[in-house]
Amino acid sequence: MFKHNLLISFRSFKRFKGTFLINLFGLASGLACTFLIYLWVSDEMNTDKFYENEDRIYQILSNRIDNGQIVTRTSMPGRLSEELMARFPEVEAASMVWTPEIFGTKGYVTLEEEQIRARPQYVNPAYIQVTSLPLVSGNTKTALKNESDVLISESLAIKLYGTTENLIGNTIDWNESRATTGVYMIAGVFKNLPKNSTLQFDLLLNVEVMMKAYKYMENWGNTNPDALVLLKEGASPDDFNKKIEKLIQSKVQKSKTTLFAQKFSERYLNGNYENGEVAGGRIAYVNLFSIVALIILVIACINFMNLSTAKAASRLKEIGVKKAIGAQRRTLIGQYFTESFLLTFLGVVIAFIIVNAILPQFNQATGKSLSVNLSLKELGFIGLIMLITGILAGSYPALYLSRLKTTESLKGKLVKNFSELMVRKGLVVFQFAVSVILIFSVLIISKQVDYIQKKNLGYDRNNVVKFDNTGIDDSAYEGFLASLETISGVISTASTGHDLTGDHGSTRLSWPGQDPDQNFQFINLEMSSGFIETMGIELIQGRTFERNRQNEEGKIIFNETAIKLMGLKDPIGKVIKLWGDEREIIGVVKDFHAESLYETIQPTLIQAYPILNSTIVKIQGGTIANTLGQIEDKFKEFSKGLPFEYKFLDTDYMAMYKSEQRISMLSKFFAAVAIIISCLGLLGLTIFTAERRTKEIGIRKVLGSGNWRIVRLLSMDFTKMVTLSLLIGLPTSYLMAERWLQGFAYGTKLTPMYSIFCGVFILAIAWFTVGFHTLKAARRNPVTTLRSE
């Protein structure tokens, strides 16, 4: 019987080529989307899950009250790991982790004439134990014990030496900044980090190098690096959290900072916090796209059911003959399920072809490196999807057609059942309601991304280039800036220690007339003279920092919000206290955004330092290519030939919104697929309706109805269904969009135009889908439709 069912299925596919191709394309599209989302979700869920003791590795975080709100941060005092090891017996190992992102810089490894850009990470020797870092060579117990030790990755070893063997004891020149530049001895080689690791680095150095360079980190009131701990087996994280909660308060008087530990592997997906508690994060997108995958698969199965029942009239006699010669219902059910599973199998094959074809573009859109490996896990998922899809897609036609009475089947009559018709219509309403939600979401996300790009930030990020000062001696830096300003295309220059994309310090200070209960946190921007002019920040009162003036390090500039918060009138000339030193206020600038648009503008101070980690250059429009070439020449001259690598600030700014941009691209893709599949579903119902009303159409034509009147008659039901979809989908979309936009302190406004556009777009697509087939049905010769069977 199985062979017979396969033969019948192939004959059915061949006979009804149009229905078969529509079904196959719909299923393949839905399955392809499901597979792509599965690959993405699987990669997201497995990020940072590769550690040997993943369930015992925790990151220490802090909660503190900043300006009336509880703010959760990862930065810790420099000696925290040592204190945790000394005071808490449940800690097996602990390490500070000074990542390259803290200062936004990379460095160069130099070996003879070879110069390779590399990402450093500064850690305690215990980091190897905490993360069970696998070494290709070297001793895990003694590596990094000395401040001059360095561990390098396999890939960096291959680039430098062409091998990973016999490298221990060799030396390399490390050139990152004036703080850490020097000669280091290779103490080992570690295996390349997995792509799903959030910590990515090419070499590991001893954290003491950074602690000596930034001595302020010895103070428990200052923070910068992260802290990881490995808890002993059986240790209770809850008990540990209770013990460490007030550790900072025991070190810093009047501190209200509290500590807590969160499992490190959970932070990637759950990195958002509200009122000091974990409040989701990327997990929301994982859940969202998992639901999208399920919905797309369901609407693809709905199409199969609608198209199968739409073609039922053409196969009724086949069913009647089989029943007349003794075929049982289970035999017919088996036949239709065979057809369903065969179509699903073909859909899976085509889906894989589609996935492999578009995976490079999908990776580019998501920033991933996904691949189809067909592991046991993936094969199991594919098998499960085939089973679910085959049952979902084949259940309704199998159960519906197999129960038709023999006499009705032989007459070629479908049972007129109101509830069944409403089920089919309800499924189409569901499909289009989903499409409405996806289209509305695409509109809002795209509009918000556009708003982000065009928002007036209070500074001009256009044509501003930024690069590290690596390799330039402090004594030569002022000469370097002066030489840059001799280039005709250079408008202005400055040195920066922070940026305006969330990379900044924060601090507290005291001012004249301060209420003892006021304890505000200020954003701390460390810049050189020329920064305000280069960034186009508007000066409201006083003056900016000047390069030729003496003692500019003793001056300070605030933004409007800071001055209002401190309640200072006529602030110019007043003196505040910062880190125990007096600073004179010399200027007030208009508010500008130093963080993402998720955050409101915070009180901000700007300090002047002559030399910092990076340089920014404002370039005259229309001269960028030529000017960058001249800047590169100057950089190589002063850095002794180091490669020149730069980035534009507008690129840096948009990098803060990578998730939003990727979600926008993915939403567009999945919305397009959902619309196509929904239209196929509507086409299926159109075919079904036309089949049922063939004789009615013939009678109406004989009585004088024109083609367009019949088209309008047939389209009316579909218009009602799509309208109902809009009534369901638009309010739901509005509520979802409103909730998403609430996450931004500054965002686009929801207007009725979005709903109007979405409604017109959906109706136009529906009418276009229905119009062709209804016109075809209306133009059929009534003699053909009314003839006796």
**How does pLDDT run across 348-370, given as a tens digit for each residue?**
889 889 998 989 888 887 888 88
Give the pLDDT score at 638: 92
| Integer Cα distance of 411 and 323 in angstroms | 13
DSSP symbols for 602-663: PPEEEEE-S--SEEEEEE-TT-HHHHHHHHHHHHHHHTTS-----EEHHHHHHHTTHHHHHH
The answer to whether residues 522 and 583 touch, using CB atoms and an 8 Å cutoff, is no
Compute the average pLDDT of residues 373-381: 79
pLDDT bucket at 12, cuts 50 / 70 / 90: low
φ/ψ of 623, rounded to 5, equals -125, 15
Instruction: Judge contact between 23 and 306, C-beta under 8 A.
Output: no
Best-predicted range by mean pLDDT (324-328, 520-524, 535-539, 667-671): 535-539
Cα separation, 50 vs 662, in Å, equals: 25
- pLDDT tens readout for residues 463-483: 999 998 888 888 899 999 999
Average pLDDT, the chain: 83
* pLDDT computed for residue 104 by the predictor: 56
pLDDT-above-90 percentage for the chain: 36
Distance, first Cα to last Cα, the chain: 31
CA distance 765 to 787: 35
Q: What are phi and psi of 282, to 5 degrees?
A: -65, -20
Q: How confident is the model at residue 706 (pLDDT cuts 50, 70, 90)?
A: low
Q: Which two tokens stand for residue 148?
A: 């001059």
pLDDT tens digit sequence for 600-637: 899 999 999 888 888 999 999 889 999 999 999 999 99
Q: At what angle do helices 418-454 and 658-692 cross, to 10 degrees?
A: 150
CA-based R_g, the chain, Å: 34
Q: What pTM does this model have?
A: 0.80
Residue in 719, 702, 717 with CA at minimum distance from that of residue 782 = 702
Contact 743, 596 (CB under 8 A): no
pLDDT over 70 at 538, yes or no:
yes
Tell which wins on pLDDT, 48 or 285. Answer: 48
**CA 653 vs CA 102, 568, 749, 770, 783: distances in Å:** 16, 32, 22, 45, 69
Structure tokens at 787: 């003839």
Strands 203-206 and 120-123: parallel
pLDDT of residue 650: 86
pLDDT at 215 over 80: yes
Q: What angle do CA 203, 209, 213 make, to 5 degrees?
A: 130
Greatest mean pLDDT among 73-77, 214-218, 597-601: 73-77
H helices of 220-282, in order, are 237-244, 264-267
Q: For residues 723 and 6, which has the higher predicted lDDT (pLDDT)?
A: 723
- Could you tell me if 244 and 88 are in contact, meaning their C-beta atoms sit under 8 angstroms apart? yes
Residue 417 confidence class, pLDDT cut points 50, 70, 90? low
Looking at the chain, the whole-number percentage of residues with pLDDT higher than 70 is 83
Burial of 562-600, coded b for 16+ CB within 10 Å and e otherwise, reads bbebbebeebeebebebeeeebebbbbbebbbbbbbeee
Query: Does 347 or 191 have the greater pLDDT score?
Result: 191
More confident site: 240 or 758 = 240
Angle 458-463-467 (CA atoms, 0-180°, nearest 5)? 100
Return d(Cα 97, Cα 359) in angstroms, integer.
35
710 pLDDT above the threshold of 80:
no
pLDDT higher than 80, residue 456 = yes
Distance of CA 682 to the CA centre of its chain: 33
Place of tokens 């040997």: 52
* Distance of alpha carbon 425 from alpha carbon 241, whole angstroms: 55
Spatial separation of the C-alpha atoms in residues 57 and 561, rounded to whole Å: 40
Q: What is the 3-state secondary structure (H, E, C) of 105-153?
A: CCEEEEECCEEEEECEEEECCCHHHHHCCCEEEECCCCCCCCCCEEEEE
Q: What is the pLDDT of residue 327?
A: 60
The mean pLDDT of 647-667, rounded to a whole number, is 81
What are the C-alpha distances in Å from 728 to residues 3, 678, 719, 721? Answer: 46, 16, 14, 11
Average pLDDT of span 64-72: 80
Q: Which long-range contacts (CB under 8 A, 24 or more apart) does 598-603 make?
A: 598/743, 598/744, 598/745, 599/745, 600/745, 601/559, 601/561, 602/67, 602/521, 602/522, 602/523, 602/561, 603/67, 603/520, 603/521, 603/522, 603/523, 603/558, 603/559, 603/561, 603/562, 603/565, 603/566
- In this prediction, residue 661 carries a pLDDT of 80
Model confidence band, residue 253 (pLDDT cutoffs 50, 70, 90):
confident
The values of phi and psi at residue 64, to 5°, are -145, 155
H or E stretch including 60?
A: strand 57-66
Q: Which residue has the higher pLDDT, 311 or 259?
A: 259
CA distances from 189 to 107, 112, 135, 154, 316 (A): 18, 20, 6, 6, 72
Question: In this predicted structure, what is the pLDDT of residue 115?
Answer: 83
Phi, psi dihedrals of residue 60, rounded to the nearest 5°: -90, 130
d(CA 768, CA 772): 7
pLDDT value for 761: 85
CB proximity list for 74: less than 8 A, separation 6 or greater: 59, 61, 62, 226
Residue 681 has pLDDT above 60, yes or no: yes
Q: In terms of pLDDT, which residue wins out, 439 or 784?
A: 439
Per-residue pLDDT band for 788 (boundaries 50, 70, 90) equals: very low
Most confident of the following: 139-148, 328-337, 671-680, 682-691:
139-148
Mean pLDDT along residues 120-142: 94
Q: How confident is the model at residue 398 (pLDDT cuts 50, 70, 90)?
A: low
The pLDDT value recorded for residue 291 is: 85
DSSP 510: B
Q: Give 127's pLDDT tier (boundaries 50, 70, 90).
A: very high
3 state DSSP class of 540 = strand
Distance CA 652, CA 680 (A): 42
Given a cut of 80, whether residue 309 has pLDDT beyond it is: no
Are residues 111 and 160 in contact, defined by beta-carbon separation less than 8 angstroms? yes
pLDDT at 320: 63
pLDDT of 780 strictly over 80:
no
List all residues 6 or more positions away from 406 whose beta carbon is below 8 Å from its beta carbon.
Answer: 320, 323, 324
Q: Tell me, what amino acid is at 197?
A: S
E strand or H helix that includes residue 481: helix 474-484
